A = this chain, B = another copy of it.
Amino acid sequence: MTKREPNAGTGTAERIVHALPDWVDAIVQLNDLIAERMGVVASDLHCLHALNRGGPTTAAVLAERIGLTPGSVSRMIDRLDSAGCVRRSPDPRDRRKVLIEPTPEGLKRIADYYAGLTDRTHEFLATFDDAQLHSLLTFVEAGRESARAEVARLRAGTRRPRGGPGSSLPDTRE
């Protein structure tokens, strides 16, 4: 397909896969820091992101999205409500359900905290031409799908919710 020169191309690929974990690490650090600034926990900020991405939903759906139990989500909503980031609004059609929706203030604060990062990203992407943007998008989507596929594969592998510390070594690979 493409001519891969052992010096240039392979080295660049190595540098990419080497820089990726650091990038993720910096993002995680940033999320943690922003959560701290907003008076919530990192998980709560994750919850807010899930809300922004998927729209307002009930606590159970939200729990399913972020991988927590409904009970934990309930107290999480308590915290986010106390911090003024989300609001509980009962569903008129089913009074059991409670819709969780982010408040405009919370949305603004989040957008404000991430404005610097998103602005820089947009500025940087503006220096790319169309072909570069396309290959970039392909890579990002491929990476996302690879990660999701790995998650799905490991999820399908075994089931180990919260085992005791005695069986520290659950298995070796099969």
Instruction: Please list the residues of chain A having a beta carbon within 8 angstroms of any beta carbon in chain B.
Output: 1-5, 8-9, 12-13, 15-17, 19-30, 32-34, 36-37, 39, 46, 49, 53, 67, 82-84, 105, 109, 112-113, 116-118, 120-122, 124-130, 132-137, 139-144, 146-151, 153-155, 157-158, 160, 162-163, 165, 167-173
Query: Which residues of chain B have C-beta atoms less than 8 A from A9's C-beta?
Result: 128-130, 133
What separation, in Å, do the CA atoms of A53 and B22 have in the docked complex?
A: 9
A72 to chain B, nearest CB (A): 14
What separation, in Å, do the CA atoms of A135 and B128 have in the docked complex?
A: 8
What separation, in Å, do the CA atoms of A109 and B172 have in the docked complex?
A: 8
Do B147 and A23 touch (CB < 8 A)?
yes
A155 to chain B, nearest CB (A): 7
Query: Which residues of chain B have C-beta atoms less than 8 A from A122's C-beta?
Result: 13, 17
Query: Which residues of chain B have C-beta atoms less than 8 A from A16's C-beta?
Result: 125, 133, 136-137, 140
Do A118 and B22 touch (CB < 8 A)?
no
Do A37 and B144 touch (CB < 8 A)?
no
Query: Which residues of chain B have C-beta atoms less than 8 A from A34's C-beta?
Result: 154
